[in-house]
Amino acid sequence: MGTLNINHELDDQIFNTINPLDPEEFRRQGHKIVNFLADYYQSIEQYPVCSQVNPGYLQKIVPNSAPNNPESLDKILKDVERDIIPGLTHWQSPNFFAYFPSSGSTAGFLGEMLSVGFNVVGFNLISSPAATELESIVMDWFGKMLNLPNCFLFASGGGGVLQGTTCEAMLCTIVAARDQMLRKISRENFGKLVAAHIAGIDPGNFRVIPTIKANEYTLCPKSLRLAILNDLKEGNVPLFLCATIGTTSTTSVDPLRLLCEIAKEFGIWVHVDAAYAGSACICPEFQVFLDGVENANSFSLNAHKWFFSTLDCCCLWVKDPSALTNALSTNPECLRNKVTELNQVIDYKDWQIALSRRFRALKLWLVLRSYGVTNLRNLIRSHVNMAKHFEGLIAMDKRFEIFVPRKLAMVCFRISPLVLSQVSTKFDDEKEVNMFNTKLVESINSCGKLYLTHGVVGGTYIIRFAIGASLTHYRHVDVAWKVIQDHANAMLNQGYV
Amino acid sequence: MGTLNINHELDDQIFNTINPLDPEEFRRQGHKIVNFLADYYQSIEQYPVCSQVNPGYLQKIVPNSAPNNPESLDKILKDVERDIIPGLTHWQSPNFFAYFPSSGSTAGFLGEMLSVGFNVVGFNLISSPAATELESIVMDWFGKMLNLPNCFLFASGGGGVLQGTTCEAMLCTIVAARDQMLRKISRENFGKLVAAHIAGIDPGNFRVIPTIKANEYTLCPKSLRLAILNDLKEGNVPLFLCATIGTTSTTSVDPLRLLCEIAKEFGIWVHVDAAYAGSACICPEFQVFLDGVENANSFSLNAHKWFFSTLDCCCLWVKDPSALTNALSTNPECLRNKVTELNQVIDYKDWQIALSRRFRALKLWLVLRSYGVTNLRNLIRSHVNMAKHFEGLIAMDKRFEIFVPRKLAMVCFRISPLVLSQVSTKFDDEKEVNMFNTKLVESINSCGKLYLTHGVVGGTYIIRFAIGASLTHYRHVDVAWKVIQDHANAMLNQGYV
């Protein structure tokens, strides 16, 4: 064993220099990062909300290759402060009203830390039973909080799974729907399937059904039926309908019950995308949004949007898990094991695209337990109340108009075209109205005091004000409104027009 | 504003009860979790490596709905200790030799904490420029460390992206290859594409080309050419070849240069899957594995396997990013922005399936800087040396045979059929030999002192011993070998046979 011993000693030296998971070093450095982040939250309001750096800024200030020798955490954290933070858009800032919120929380953070610390790869039950079991349990807990019909819960043959994003959840359900349909019609008819792209379906076979303002931009059942009948007439096979509870542009809520009835008639898979609004349905007063969901095949929401769970955490429930597993199962020899073969256990790898998977359930479990259902409902309600408050502020300033009725914690508004047309006749052109509102948003965002984004519906540019960052409170909403008014004043009064 | 003020006061009460991101509460609880995890690493060897719980254990001990009221972190952590930890398989244990490692590290953990703490959603450049820019920078750093040809680096028109898993990376590249091909042939020929399933390609058009022991289970260029010619003869369109550097079963290394030459001749996209072995290629002595990669289209490795970055972190490089973005771009109005429209910037959402994305680059950046290239190479080498050492131990015990030559830090072995056939003639049947080795693995794993898994190649059951957990050192390998011998002794000598 002579030569083996020589390696041994050399390697001992390496290990003594760098032990990548030395518990005491982990403890020492872990505390430093906790303090760094706590200080960041303390001072978060001092940064411009939307990063003001120019593209390519970082390349100019960092070395062009990795260092050969170790650098200390203190040095790295100084660089984070000097080089990285200015390049961040601060999604956790109380003055972040853009897109939809990415609502972090202490409990969500702690759950992630536990998950990252354990660092298990929960592809199947045996690889870490607690990961699979806790996930099934919290998905049933959450399903009950949402008052989802029993058919989506494990006890009644359905079930839930945590995925990364809605995109993944949609892809999985489309693939499930596709394979279910291909078992009915033959594979030669693949080209006739009408749905979405990554799953191989012809982009030309994807139908976007227009919505109108009179219906608050919801999907109209009549239009759906017409589109289906048209496709059938042309020999196509309508496959998959995505109904949305809380659309991105305007948080519109599609009439689920009516849409599901039509889809059922034609054997179409219905997925309910409640990425943003789903979380609100833990409050009984919002559960009306889900009326009819018992006729859908699948339902998803993003807990990382408005449920205090950090990115990523998409909750997907299905009525028939076998539709998913029939389409997505893999059985590589290296993962074969007695438990899977003997028992009817859940191997979550068969519920998603990827084999490897994070232990995301810990995050949701910590959020649910640390805050409790009552407080979670009240937090959601407080955001909705702040949005009501903001809506009230807008209503008092006649230069602005609310564009669609507010449903939850997002308000869509713009400078009124009537007001603008009194300023100049050029605003009789809708494009000019849109341009004015575009410039207003750019002006507001470049001051760094708040960040908001826009949508375009039916050709109209609208300003979106989405409340839900965990640190946001009334005073932030009031200041934001003042800033918006100031920028509008400047543009309306100081010759901008 | 009377009614508005009433809401205001009620909500103040809620916010005073629960502020989900209060900095001082974050600090207090964050320190608790750091200590909890440091203590876990200190005591990790006391737990059975592979969880010994029975399926369904957790359901029996937790409540069947989420609590209405908050519970304290101390109570939750007690439950983690009592209820969750027994259900974990301890991937970070130094006695974990199963599957491939999931190599955690302090630096990887800290990077995740920063990423989770900032909790930005980096779909495009503007949503947090630092997230996109740091990702491009570290991918170029890493590419240079691997000595990847320049054509995979941003400076030369290629580029890298961090995805969750190899499965996602493969799906993205298959979709890119598919759409590139569909622009050449027409969409009517979709059914003739030969490749993989989620992307819509007929499972019947997926070719598994057999490998043999004489070639160390690598993909033989002759067999590849034959399979391609066969498909062409039948009017099919070969689309996508996955060459593997370090297969799961035996860490075999496909002859990349020869395979790429054939693929090039037929216009086939080559993806190089180096999920496990890729990390080793930061050591110049292993870069020979990548010989010929300049003729591949894409290359990926999992930094969460053997590069001290916690799950999930798959590094994907492509030579032609536009092939990816042509297939995967989306442009919803809500994400439109001046920077994207005016500049040639990277919007990473167009390089992957999902829209939302974590700031994974921080993790890789902290690993590279905290350890430095020299130490990272030495850590990889120390794992390879430990595997050599283990191989040496096996070679001295004639009851065992090494099944395929060791390439990196994984050793494939089994109880020799020759030895077994001296014990009983029933072992002239290969199935009985496999069964004996299966029982040996089950016996070892059920004792909890170590965890290893198996593979099956060419009908032969092999025991895999994969070294790479960050806490593993020679003493753990020595003890593991002793345990394996003890279980083999018991089975061979005490009448098991």
Q: For B96-153, give the DSSP string.
A: B-SSS-----HHHHHHHHHHHHH----SSSTT-HHHHHHHHHHHHHHHHHTT--GGGS
Whether A448 and A479 have beta carbons less than 8 Å apart is answered as no
Give the per-residue pLDDT at A267: 92
pLDDT tens digits, B64-100: 999 999 999 999 999 999 999 999 999 999 999 999 9
pLDDT band, very low/low/confident/very high, at B3 (cuts 50, 70, 90): very low
- Does A13 score more than 90 pLDDT? no
B61 touches A: beta carbon within 8 Å:
no
Average pLDDT for A72-93: 97
pLDDT beyond 70 at A186: yes
**Chain A residues with CB-CB distance to B92 below 8 A:** 21, 118-119
Sign of CA dihedral A43, A48, A50, A54: negative
Q: Is A171's CB within 8 Å of B353's CB?
A: yes
Choose among A455, A473, A470, A466: nearest CA to A407: A466
pLDDT at residue B1 in the model? 38
Q: How many CB atoms lie within 10 A of CB B147?
A: 12
A77 closest CA partner among A114, A17, A29: A29
Q: Are B376 and B282 contacting, i.e. CB atoms less than 8 angstroms apart?
A: yes
Cα A302–Cα A305–Cα A310 angle in degrees, nearest 5: 95
Compute the average pLDDT of residues A344-355.
Answer: 87
Answer yes or no: are the C-beta atoms of A374 and B69 closer than 8 Å.
yes
pLDDT tens digits, one per residue of A361-373: 999 999 999 999 9
Query: What percent of chain A is predicted at pLDDT more than 70?
Result: 96
pLDDT given at position A268: 94
CB contact under 8 A, B110 and A30: yes
- Chain mean pLDDT for chain A: 91
* C-alpha separations of A281 from A102, A400, A471, B425 in Å: 18, 30, 21, 67
Distance (Å, whole) CA B188 – CA B182 = 9
How many Å apart are CA B57 and CA B87, to the nearest integer? 8
Q: Nearest-CA neighbor of B304 among B89, B95, B105?
A: B105
pLDDT value of residue B351: 92
pLDDT score of A130 more than 60: yes
In chain A, what is the greatest distance between 2 CA atoms, to the nearest angstrom?
Answer: 93
Beta bridge partners of B96: B451
Angle between helices A321-328 and A166-184 (to 10 degrees): 90
Does A203 score more than 90 pLDDT?
no
* Dist. CA B405–CA B394, nearest whole Å: 13
Q: Taking residues B122-141, what's their average pLDDT? A: 92
pLDDT, mean over chain B: 91
Please give the Cα distance from B460 to B169 (Å, whole number). Answer: 30
Q: How many of the other CB atoms lie within 10 Å of CB of A497?
A: 14
Rounded Cα gap, residues A86 and A84, in angstroms: 6
Q: Please answer whether residues A300 and A274 qualify as being in contact, where contact means their C-beta atoms are separated by less than 8 angstroms.
A: yes
Residue from the list B29, B40, B59 with its beta carbon closest to the beta carbon of A133: B59
Does B371 contact A474 at a Cβ distance shorter than 8 Å? Answer: no
User: Helix/strand/coil (H, E, C) string of chain A?
Assistant: CHHHHHHHHHHHHHHHHCCCCCHHHHHHHHHHHHHHHHHHHHCHHHCCCCCCCCCCCCCCCCCCCCCCCCCCHHHHHHHHHHHHHHHCCCCCCCCECCCCCCCCCHHHHHHHHHHHHHCCCCCCCCCCHHHHHHHHHHHHHHHHHCCCCHHHCHHHCCEEEEECCHHHHHHHHHHHHHHHHHHHCCHHHHHHEECCCCCCCCHHHCCCCCCCHHHCCCCCHHHHHHHHHHHHHCCCEECEEEEEECCCCCCCECCHHHHHHHHHHCCCEEEEECCCHHHHHHCHHHHHHHCCHHHCCEEEEEHHHHCCCCCCCEEEEECCHHHHHHHHCCCCHHHCCHHHHHCCCCCHHHHCCCCCCCCCHHHHHHHHHHHHHHHHHHHHHHHHHHHHHHHHHHHCCCCEEECCCCCCCEEEEEECHHHHHHHCHHHHCHHHHHHHHHHHHHHHHHHCCCECEEEEECCEEEEEEECCCCCCCHHHHHHHHHHHHHHHHHHHHCCCC
**Which H/E stretch holds residue B401?**
strand B400-402
Cβ–Cβ contact A234 with B under 8 A: no
Distance from CA of B363 to the nearest CA of A (A): 11
pLDDT confidence tier of residue A496, bands split at 50, 70 and 90:
low
Overall average pLDDT of the B404-410 stretch = 95
CB pairs under 8 A between A and B: 510
Inter-chain contact B7–A389, Cβ cutoff 8 Å? Answer: yes
Instruction: Give Cβ neighbours of residue A191 (< 8 Å, ≥ 6 apart).
Output: A202, A205, B187, B188, B190, B191
User: What residues form DSSP beta bridges with A314?
Assistant: A163, A302
Q: How big is the CA angle at B198 (ends B196 and B200), to the nearest 5 degrees?
A: 80
Which positions 260-299 of A are in contact with B (Cβ < 8 Å)?
A: none
Amino acid at A115: S
The B residues from 353 to 372 touching A (CB cutoff 8 Å) are 353-356, 358, 362, 366, 368-372
Residues 6+ apart with CB under 8 A from B218: B211, B252, B253, B254, B255
Report pLDDT digits (tens) over B248-292: 999 999 999 999 999 999 999 999 999 999 999 999 999 999 999
Strand partners, A415: A400
At B7 the pLDDT is 59
- CB contact under 8 Å between B91 and A131, yes or no, is no
* Phi–psi pair at A105, nearest 5 degrees: -160, 160
**Interchain contact A111–B (C-beta under 8 A):** no
Q: Calculate mean pLDDT across residues B399-405.
A: 95
Helix axes A430-447, A474-493, angle to 10 degrees: 130
Percent of chain A with pLDDT over 90: 75
Length of chain A: 497
**Side-chain-facing half-sphere of A68: CA atoms under 13 Å:** 1
Give the H or E element holding residue B29: helix B23-42
Could you report the per-residue pLDDT of A295-325, keeping only the tens digit for each?
999 999 999 999 999 999 999 999 999 999 9
Query: Interior CA angle at B377 toward B371 and B382, to 5°?
Result: 105
| Chain B residues in contact with A369 (beta carbon < 8 A) | 66-67, 70-71, 76
What is residue B322's predicted lDDT score, i.e. its pLDDT? 92
Residue B17 reports pLDDT greater than 90? no
Cα B354 to chain center, whole Å?
19
Is A497's pLDDT higher than 60?
A: no
Minimum distance, in Å, between the CA of residue B431 and any CA atom of chain A? 16
Pairing verdict, β A269-273 and A240-244: parallel
Q: Which of A328-342, A456-470, B151-165 comes out lowest in average pLDDT?
A: A328-342
Distance of alpha carbon B422 from alpha carbon B337, whole angstroms: 75
Asked if residue A124 lies in contact with residue A349, where contact means CB atoms within 8 angstroms, the answer is yes
Percent of chain B with pLDDT over 90: 75
Band (pLDDT 50/70/90 cuts) for residue A355 is confident
Q: Given a cut of 50, is residue B4 above it in pLDDT?
A: no
pLDDT of residue A190: 77
Q: Is B344 helix (H, G, I), strand (E, B) or coil?
A: coil
Phi/psi at A95 (5° precision): -100, 20
Cross-sheet strand order for the sheet of B269-273: B159-163, B314-318, B298-302, B269-273, B240-244
**B9 pLDDT exceeds 90?**
no
Q: Hey, are the CB atoms on B353 and A167 less than 8 Å from each other?
A: yes
User: All domains of chain B, ordered by start, with CATH?
Assistant: 121-358 (3.40.640.10), 371-493 (3.90.1150.10)
Of A55, A200, A379, which is closest to B339 when you measure between CB atoms?
A55
Whether the predicted pLDDT of A38 surpasses 60: yes
First CA to last CA distance, chain B: 86
Q: Which residues of A touch B83 (CB under 8 A)?
A: 130
CA A74 to chain centre: 33
Supply the pLDDT for residue B446.
Answer: 95
pLDDT digits (tens, 9 = 90+) for B213-233: 888 889 999 999 999 999 999
pLDDT at B6 over 60: no
Widest Cα–Cα separation across chain B: 93
Residue of A nearest to B94 (CA): A21
Least confident of A177-191, B33-47, B152-166, B195-209: B195-209
Nearest neighbour of A4 by CB, restricted to B39, B302, B392: B392
A38 CB neighbours in chain B (<8 A) are 23-24, 26-27, 30
Identify whether the C-beta of residue B156 lies closer than 8 Å to the C-beta of residue B150.
yes
Phi-psi region of A246 (alpha: psi -120 to 50; beta: other; left: phi over 0): left
Which residues have CB under 8 Å from B400's CB, separation 6+? B394, B413, B414, B415, B416, B488
Does the pLDDT of residue A342 top 80, yes or no?
A: no
Sheet of A314-318: strands edge to edge? A159-163, A314-318, A298-302, A269-273, A240-244
Which residues are registered as beta bridge partners of A456? A461
Q: Return the pLDDT at B496.
A: 56
- Please compute the mean of the pLDDT values over residues A334-345 and round it to a whole number: 75
Q: What share of chain B is helix, strand, coil (3-state, %, to 5)?
A: 55, 10, 35
> B386: pLDDT confidence band, cut at 50, 70 and 90?
very high
Q: Is the pLDDT of residue B436 over 60?
A: yes
- Who among A53, A91, A339 is closest to B121 (CB)? A91
Positive/negative CA dihedral, B188, B194, B195, B201: positive
For residue B317, pLDDT over 90 is answered with yes
CB A330 within 8 A of CB A114: no
User: Which residues does chain A have within 8 Å of residue B312's beta carbon, measured at their own beta carbons?
Assistant: 354, 356-358
Nearest to A358 among B8, B119, B311 (CB): B311
- State which H helix or E strand residue B266 sits in: none
Chain A residues with beta carbon closer than 8 angstroms to that of B363: none
User: pLDDT at residue A139 above 80?
Assistant: yes
Stretch 454-493 of chain B: residues touching chain A, C-beta under 8 Å: 454-456, 464, 470-471, 473-474
A86 touches chain B (CB under 8 A): yes
